[in-house]
Amino acid sequence: MTTLLTETEITALLDKLTEAIAADCPTEYGEIALIGIRSRGELLACRLAERLARRLGTELPYGALDITLYRDDLEQAEPDRQPAVRTTEIPFDIEGRFIILVDDVLNTGRSVRAALNALADLGRPQAIRLAVLVDRGRRELPIRADYVGMETTVPIEQRVNVFLQETDGRDEVVVE
Amino acid sequence: MPYNATPSAANRADRFIWRRKHLLGLRDLSREELLHVLDTAEGFKEISTRSIKKAPPLRGKVVVNLFFEDSTRTRNSFTLAANRLSADVLEFTATGSSISKGETLRDTARNLEAMGIDIVVIRHSAAGAPHLLSRCIDAAIVNAGDGQHEHPTQGLLDIFTIRELRGDLKGLKVAIVGDIAHSRVARSNIWGLHKLGAEVILVGPPTLMPASVEKLPVTVCHDFDAVIPEVDVMNMLRVQFERIGSTVFPSGREYSRLFGLTMDRLKRARKDVLVMHPGPVNRGMEIESEVADGPNSTILRQVSNGLAIRMAVLFLVNQAAALKEGTDKTP
């Protein structure tokens, strides 16, 4: 297990993402809102919403999206793992908004595909952008992120795990 | 944070693997399994609030509603739940079918299975019919009420509704009032509530208590008025005229005088008491209209929650069916 990002580096990357999103948020789009993919993406969306609120001087709504029902591997369940359904909690109408979809790690692109389909069932946003903390490559679908904290290449057999204060008691990204 | 999914619930769900391809009754379920169904159902509530009330997890699956007994709300609820998960639903009713031509349950099921079905939702007047079915066909089986045995999804939706409004079942006092003897709803509630730490009090005339009530994890009281002030929940069962003869109590009026939930009785209960009813309601018999429509009533909330529970159950049995190993624990 090696540390990919320390707490200080994560903070710096969140600042970088905040700046990139703020610089890119065109006023001709609808109101900005952040939606994080459960579970780590949701926490990052919450943090980015706070930073963006300070940067832009206005409160930004944010929510959490559970993508379990939209996964494409429900029928390939392994004996020791089973995705659990959680709640989707988006306390605003996504119709016509400028949505920043947030996830911790971008890998195959399959979670993002699931999230896009889930969002389509919730309404029709003006636009959707993707922000990720770490892009580890190895895409299996034609998906790319608009805002990337860090790009890195990690061997296929290794996992990138993100630990966040809110649920794990510390901020750290590790490769194991 | 606006989110109510606590880390503990999320962690619990992460570690858990649901292995039951059949939901036959709540008596078989462990506390962890019960909690997993309830937690899963939380995630399905939101679907019914959207403009597009549909999600894709059962796309391409076929759910058969195999109902040998009359039912309106349970059947509709299962149909809608299956539709919202994008399954195809085959409606099978005993009247007007080959059942009336003498086909056996086993043959009916095998014929349905030959059409390539995945989940059978069965209601039958004989206790154990879903169990029999689970042994003779490959599809996942969900019990939608078997005789006087169990009605697990009703028990689950009742418990889900209590947990939604009270947070935790532990230590709650729940009175189940009325015709316990003929009630599969009561039985499923008793097992589920007991495992989650609630105290169950059965209330009704001795003639409507089940034969071996002393073997159930409950206390029994024949005096409704004595119980009213101390309970958190009153689940008012329907008096099942179609199942009982006229001998169990002298008259409807007498029953309602002793065991009907009137406004007068409600005034002596806790202010926040939950008044539940599995429906259909005999207004003026087991419950007064004003109570059924009043602020303590959870009747319509139970119906909405029933959809979420049934979506969760259909999703879970399908998830268990997809597990690679033959890890189903049910007999």
- pLDDT, one tens digit per residue, over B292-327 is 999 999 999 999 999 999 999 999 999 999 986 544
First CA to last CA across chain B, in angstroms?
A: 44
Which chain B residues have a beta carbon less than 8 Å from that of A163? none
* Record: contact A69-B7, CB cut-off 8 A: no
Helix (H) or strand (E) holding B248: none
The chain B residues in contact with chain A (CB within 8 A) are: 1-5, 7, 10, 13-14, 16-18, 36, 39-40, 42-46, 50-52, 54-57, 85, 312, 315, 319, 322-325, 327
Beta bridge partners of A48: none
Q: What is the phi-psi region of residue B11: left when phi exceeds 0, alpha when psi lies from -120 to 50, beta otherwise?
A: alpha
The span from the CA of B28 to the CA of B34, in Å, is 10
Which chain A residues have a beta carbon less than 8 Å from that of B56? 69-70, 117
Question: A49 to chain B nearest CA, in Å?
Answer: 12
**Which residues, in sequence order, are CB contacts of B97 under 8 Å at separation 6+?**
B108
> CA angle at residue B61 from B59 to B64, to 5 degrees?
135
Cβ of residue A161 closer than 8 Å to a chain B Cβ: no
- Determine the residue among A35, A50, A86 to mutate to test chain B binding: the one whose Cβ has the most chain B Cβ atoms within 10 Å: A86
DSSP letters for chain A = -EEEE-HHHHHHHHHHHHHHHHHH--TTS--EEEEEETTHHHHHHHHHHHHHHHHHTS---EEEE--GGG-S-GGG-BTTB-PPP---B--S--TT-EEEEEEEEESSSHHHHHHHHHHHTT---SEEEEEEEEE----SSS---SEEEEE----TT--EEEE-HHHHSS-EEEE-
The span from the CA of B209 to the CA of B215, in Å, is 12
Place of tokens 């759910």: B63
Question: Residue A164 has which token pair?
Answer: 């966040």
Place of tokens 């006023």: A27
Tell me if B321 sits within 8 A of B291, measured CB to CB: no
CATH classification for the domain delimited by B153-300, as one of 3.40.50.1100, 2.60.120.10, 3.20.20.80, 3.40.50.1370: 3.40.50.1370
* Record: contact A82-B1, CB cut-off 8 A: no
Mean pLDDT in residue range A66-82: 86
Question: Residue B309 has which token pair?
Answer: 């529970």
* Nearest Cβ partner for A69 among B36, B55, B325: B55
Question: B27 to chain A nearest CA, in Å?
Answer: 23
Mean pLDDT in residue range B269-275: 97
Question: A24 to chain B nearest CA, in Å?
Answer: 26
pLDDT for the residue numbered B327: 47
Q: Grade residue B109 by pLDDT with cuts at 50, 70 and 90.
A: confident
The span from the CA of B176 to the CA of B191, in Å, is 12
Q: What is the mean pLDDT of chain B?
A: 89
pLDDT for the residue numbered B331: 42
> CA angle at residue B304 from B15 to B273, to 5 degrees?
90
DSSP letters for B177-238 = ES--TT-HHHHHHHHHHHHTT-EEEEES-GGGS-TTGGGSS-EEES-HHHHGGG-SEEEEPP
**Which residues, in sequence order, are CB contacts of A105 under 8 Å at separation 6+?**
A40, A132, A133, A134, A135, A136, A160, A162
Mean pLDDT in residue range B185-196: 97
Question: A81 to chain B nearest CA, in Å?
Answer: 7
Mean pLDDT in residue range A10-35: 87
Do B7-151+304-322 and B153-300 show the same overall fold? yes
Domains of chain A, residue spans = 2-72+84-175
* Record: contact B315-A85, CB cut-off 8 A: yes
* Nearest Cβ partner for B43 among A39, A74, A86: A86
Mean pLDDT in residue range B105-134: 92
pLDDT for the residue numbered B15: 76
Question: Residue B133 has which token pair?
Answer: 């079915």
Q: Of B122, B109, B117, whose CA–CA distance to B66 is shortest?
A: B122
Over 90: is that where the pLDDT of B83 sits? yes
Which amino acid would we find at residue B179? D
CATH classification for the domain delimited by B7-151+304-322, as one of 3.40.50.1370, 3.40.50.620, 3.40.630.30, 3.20.20.70: 3.40.50.1370
* Record: contact B46-A88, CB cut-off 8 A: yes
Which chain A residues have a beta carbon less than 8 Å from that of B322? 74-77
Domains of chain B, residue spans = 7-151+304-322, 153-300
Question: B143 to chain A nearest CA, in Å?
Answer: 22
Over 70: is that where the pLDDT of B89 sits? yes
Tell me if A47 sits within 8 A of A55, measured CB to CB: no
What is the chain A residue with the closest CA to B86? Answer: A69
Over 50: is that where the pLDDT of B6 sits? no
Question: Residue A19 has which token pair?
Answer: 């700046």
Report, in angstroms and rounded to the nearest whole number, the Rg of chain B calculated over CA atoms. 20
The span from the CA of A52 to the CA of A30, in Å, is 16
pLDDT for the residue numbered B295: 97
Phi, psi dihedrals of residue B77, rounded to the nearest 5°: -65, -45
* Record: contact A85-B323, CB cut-off 8 A: no
Tell me if A87 sits within 8 A of B3, measured CB to CB: yes
Eight-class DSSP state of B297 = B
Over 70: is that where the pLDDT of B245 sits? no
Which chain A residues have a beta carbon less than 8 Å from that of B40? 84-85
Cβ of residue A74 closer than 8 Å to a chain B Cβ: yes
Which amino acid would we find at residue A16? K
* Record: contact A89-B46, CB cut-off 8 A: yes
**What is the separation of C-alpha B102 from the centre of its chain, rounded to a whole number of angstroms?**
30
CATH 3.40.50.2020 applies to domain A2-72+84-175: yes
* Nearest Cβ partner for A79 among B40, B54, B327: B327
Which chain B residues have a beta carbon less than 8 Å from that of A85? 13, 40, 43-44, 312, 315
Cβ of residue A69 closer than 8 Å to a chain B Cβ: yes
Beta bridge partners of A64: A36, A89
pLDDT for the residue numbered B4: 39
* Nearest Cβ partner for B17 among A82, A121, A167: A82
Q: Of B266, B182, B207, B180, whose CA–CA distance to B231 is shortest?
A: B266
Q: Grade residue B211 by pLDDT with cuts at 50, 70 and 90.
A: confident
pLDDT for the residue numbered A11: 96
Which residues of B are designated catalytic? 73-74, 101, 123, 151
What is the chain A residue with the closest CA to B42? Answer: A87
The rounded percent of chain A whose pLDDT value lies above 90 is: 78
Q: Is the ipTM of this complex over 0.85?
A: yes
Place of tokens 């034969």: B211
Q: Of B255, B256, B146, whose CA–CA distance to B207 is shortest?
A: B255
Range with the lowest mean pLDDT among A19-28, A51-60, A98-107, B100-109? B100-109
Burial of B156 (0-12, 13-18, 19+ CB in 10 A): buried
* Record: contact A123-B51, CB cut-off 8 A: yes
Question: Residue B194 has which token pair?
Answer: 């007991």
How far from B122 is each of A59, B53, B150, B275, CA to CA, in Å?
A: 51, 25, 12, 28
The span from the CA of A145 to the CA of A136, in Å, is 11
